[in-house]
Protein backbone atom coordinates (compact mmCIF):
# COMPACT_ATOMS: atom_id res chain seq x y z
CA UNK A 1 0.00 0.00 0.00
CA UNK A 2 1.26 3.46 -0.88
CA UNK A 3 1.60 5.94 1.96
CA UNK A 4 0.81 9.45 0.82
CA UNK A 5 2.19 12.35 2.84
CA UNK A 6 -0.31 14.31 4.91
CA UNK A 7 1.66 17.52 4.35
CA UNK A 8 3.67 19.07 1.56
CA UNK A 9 5.94 21.98 2.47
CA UNK A 10 4.02 22.35 5.72
CA UNK A 11 0.65 22.57 4.00
CA UNK A 12 -2.03 19.93 4.51
CA UNK A 13 -2.66 17.86 1.42
CA UNK A 14 -6.38 17.65 2.24
CA UNK A 15 -6.59 21.46 2.39
CA UNK A 16 -4.72 21.81 -0.88
CA UNK A 17 -7.00 19.23 -2.51
CA UNK A 18 -10.20 20.87 -1.27
CA UNK A 19 -9.00 24.30 -2.43
CA UNK A 20 -7.98 22.89 -5.80
CA UNK A 21 -11.39 21.27 -6.33
CA UNK A 22 -13.11 24.51 -5.26
CA UNK A 23 -10.95 26.43 -7.74
CA UNK A 24 -11.83 24.01 -10.53
CA UNK A 25 -15.55 24.21 -9.80
CA UNK A 26 -15.37 28.02 -9.77
CA UNK A 27 -14.42 27.83 -13.44
CA UNK A 28 -17.92 26.56 -14.21
CA UNK A 29 -19.38 29.92 -13.14
CA UNK A 30 -16.94 31.96 -15.23
CA UNK A 31 -17.39 32.93 -18.83
CA UNK A 32 -15.30 30.99 -21.31
CA UNK A 33 -11.68 31.90 -20.65
CA UNK A 34 -8.21 30.94 -21.77
CA UNK A 35 -6.30 27.95 -20.48
CA UNK A 36 -3.77 30.23 -18.76
CA UNK A 37 -6.46 32.25 -16.95
CA UNK A 38 -8.20 29.04 -15.91
CA UNK A 39 -4.95 27.63 -14.58
CA UNK A 40 -4.15 30.82 -12.67
CA UNK A 41 -7.66 30.92 -11.21
CA UNK A 42 -7.37 27.33 -10.01
CA UNK A 43 -3.91 27.96 -8.54
CA UNK A 44 -5.14 31.09 -6.76
CA UNK A 45 -7.96 29.03 -5.24
CA UNK A 46 -5.52 26.36 -4.11
CA UNK A 47 -2.99 28.78 -2.61
CA UNK A 48 -5.62 30.93 -0.89
CA UNK A 49 -7.22 27.83 0.60
CA UNK A 50 -3.86 26.54 1.79
CA UNK A 51 -2.91 29.73 3.60
CA UNK A 52 -6.27 31.22 4.64
CA UNK A 53 -8.02 28.06 5.88
CA UNK A 54 -6.02 27.71 9.12
CA UNK A 55 -6.42 31.43 9.84
CA UNK A 56 -10.18 31.46 9.21
CA UNK A 57 -10.90 28.23 11.09
CA UNK A 58 -8.91 29.52 14.05
CA UNK A 59 -10.42 33.03 13.97
CA UNK A 60 -13.98 31.71 13.73
CA UNK A 61 -13.26 28.91 16.25
CA UNK A 62 -14.47 26.30 13.78
CA UNK A 63 -14.13 22.60 14.51
CA UNK A 64 -11.27 20.77 12.82
CA UNK A 65 -13.75 18.61 10.90
CA UNK A 66 -14.90 21.72 8.99
CA UNK A 67 -11.41 22.50 7.69
CA UNK A 68 -11.84 20.83 4.29
CA UNK A 69 -15.24 22.43 3.73
CA UNK A 70 -13.74 25.81 4.61
CA UNK A 71 -10.85 25.19 2.19
CA UNK A 72 -13.33 24.24 -0.54
CA UNK A 73 -15.34 27.46 -0.08
CA UNK A 74 -12.17 29.56 -0.06
CA UNK A 75 -10.95 27.82 -3.23
CA UNK A 76 -14.35 28.38 -4.82
CA UNK A 77 -14.42 32.12 -4.02
CA UNK A 78 -10.70 32.95 -4.01
CA UNK A 79 -10.63 35.05 -7.18
CA UNK A 80 -13.45 37.27 -5.89
CA UNK A 81 -11.72 37.54 -2.50
CA UNK A 82 -8.45 38.61 -4.15
CA UNK A 83 -10.25 41.08 -6.44
CA UNK A 84 -12.03 42.61 -3.42
CA UNK A 85 -8.82 42.92 -1.42
CA UNK A 86 -7.05 44.57 -4.36
CA UNK A 87 -9.97 46.97 -4.95
CA UNK A 88 -10.06 48.01 -1.28
CA UNK A 89 -6.28 48.41 -1.21
CA UNK A 90 -6.42 50.53 -4.35
CA UNK A 91 -9.19 52.76 -2.97
CA UNK A 92 -7.29 53.21 0.29
CA UNK A 93 -4.08 53.84 -1.69
CA UNK A 94 -2.43 50.93 0.12
CA UNK A 95 0.58 49.43 -1.54
CA UNK A 96 3.30 47.22 -0.17
CA UNK A 97 5.95 50.00 -0.36
CA UNK A 98 3.61 52.39 1.53
CA UNK A 99 3.10 49.82 4.28
CA UNK A 100 6.85 49.23 4.57
CA UNK A 101 7.63 52.96 4.65
CA UNK A 102 5.06 53.55 7.41
CA UNK A 103 6.54 50.69 9.47
CA UNK A 104 10.07 52.08 9.08
CA UNK A 105 9.15 55.64 10.14
11: containing domain? 7-78
How many separate domains does the chain show? Answer: 1
In 3-state terms, what secondary structure has residue 11? strand
- pLDDT of 34-47, one tens digit each? 888 888 888 888 99
- pLDDT of 62-82, one tens digit each? 888 899 999 999 999 988 888
Answer yes or no: is 35 within a domain: yes
The reported pLDDT for the residue numbered 11 is: 82
The burial class, CB within 10 Å (0-12 / 13-18 / 19+), for 22 is buried
The reported pLDDT for the residue numbered 93 is: 72
- Which helix or strand (DSSP H or E) is residue 8 part of? strand 7-8
Answer yes or no: is 98 within a domain: no
pTM value? 0.72
Of 35 and 104, the one with more pLDDT: 35
Answer yes or no: is 95 within a domain: no
The reported pLDDT for the residue numbered 38 is: 84
Amino acid sequence: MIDFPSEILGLKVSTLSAGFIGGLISLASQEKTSFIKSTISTLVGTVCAAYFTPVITSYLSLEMNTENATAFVIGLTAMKIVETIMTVADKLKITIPNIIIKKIK
